[in-house]
């Protein structure tokens, strides 16, 4: 797939033997992931929609469909799907986190976003990505010092480019530009293609 041979990659996955229902699901999810990695979001969405209509209660399918709907900018559908997932599985931290982060990132309903993310933190207190979301919503609410505290801790636990992008932006806004540049450079070394990182640098007009 990385060589641009997506059809061959999909055929390879489909040709794998499946002895159990779980094998079948793993193959399906692997093929969807290939499409997502190749940014073939509509094709991934179509696969997930078809599978989800056959198994409407499958929470994994609902979550993945919501995430692909977001990539297609179908934000109302994403929200509807995540709320449905929360109804079906009230202890699914990823659903609260994804919905809260999406609201925070779009700078809408920020108090609701914080409530959703705090629920996710309760369910998964050790998850650095959920902590990242909490830091990001605090930043959106104007609580910059609290945002730095949370994001620094999260980045220390998991130096992921997405967390680095957020921490760098908060530091940049606070005027700590050298530290921000240093974190962004580290993040680029890990994954120069990271969408959040690239979008952040472009929006802030930073060239590294």
Under 8 Å between Cβ of 155 and 164: yes
pLDDT number for residue 156: 96
* pLDDT interval class at 186 (50, 70, 90): very high
Give residues with Cβ within 8 angstroms of 138, minimum separation 6. Answer: 114, 144, 146, 147, 150
* pLDDT interval class at 175 (50, 70, 90): very high
Q: Which residue has the tokens 């989800």?
A: 52
pLDDT number for residue 180: 98
Going from N- to C-terminal start, the domains of the chain cover 1-74, 126-208
User: Six-digit token pair at 137?
Assistant: 């919503």
pLDDT number for residue 128: 97
pLDDT number for residue 160: 97
Q: pLDDT digit string (tens) for 96-136? A: 999 999 999 999 999 999 999 999 999 999 999 999 999 99
pLDDT number for residue 36: 95
Q: Which residue has the tokens 């190749």?
A: 38
Please give the model's pTM, rounded to 2 decimal places: 0.91
Following CA atoms 51, 8, 67, 81 in sequence, which dihedral angle do they give, to the nearest 10 degrees? -10
Q: What is the mean pLDDT of the chain?
A: 96
CATH of domain 126-208: 1.25.40.10
- DSSP 3-state helix, strand, coil percentages of the chain (rounded to 5)? 75, 0, 25
Give residues with Cβ within 8 angstroms of 206, minimum separation 6. Answer: 172, 181, 184, 200
Share of the chain above pLDDT 70, in %: 100
Per-residue 3-state assignment (H helix, E strand, C coil) for 111-170? HHHHHHHHHHHHHCCCCHHHHHHHHHHHHHCCCHHHHHHHHHHHHHHCCCHHHHHHHHHH
Residue 3 CB: number of other CB atoms within 10 A? Answer: 7
Q: Which residue has the tokens 């910059």?
A: 144
pLDDT number for residue 82: 98
Q: pLDDT digit string (tens) for 28-79? A: 999 999 999 999 999 999 999 999 999 999 999 999 999 999 999 999 999 9
């Amino acid at each position: 797939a990385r060589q641009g041979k997506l059809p061959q990659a999909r055929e390879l996955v489909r040709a794998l033997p499946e002895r159990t229902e779980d094998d079948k699901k793993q193959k399906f999810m692997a093929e969807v992931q290939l499409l997502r990695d190749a940014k073939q979001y509509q094709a991934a969405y179509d696969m997930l929609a078809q599978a989800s209509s056959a198994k409407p209660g499958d929470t994994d399918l609902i979550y993945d469909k919501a995430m692909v709907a977001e990539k297609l900018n179908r934000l109302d559908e994403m929200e509807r799907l995540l709320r449905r997932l929360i109804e079906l599985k009230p202890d699914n931290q990823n659903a609260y986190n994804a919905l809260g982060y999406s609201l925070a990132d779009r700078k809408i309903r920020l108090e609701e976003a914080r409530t959703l993310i705090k629920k996710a933190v309760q369910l998964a207190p050790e998850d650095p990505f959920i902590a990242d979301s909490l830091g990001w919503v605090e930043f959106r609410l104007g609580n910059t010092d609290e945002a730095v505290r949370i994001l620094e801790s999260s980045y220390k636990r998991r130096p992921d480019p997405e967390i680095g992008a957020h921490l760098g932006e908060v530091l940049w806004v606070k005027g700590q530009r050298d530290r921000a540049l240093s974190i962004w450079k580290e993040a680029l070394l890990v994954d120069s293609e990271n969408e959040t990182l690239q979008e952040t640098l472009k929006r802030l007009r930073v060239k590294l």
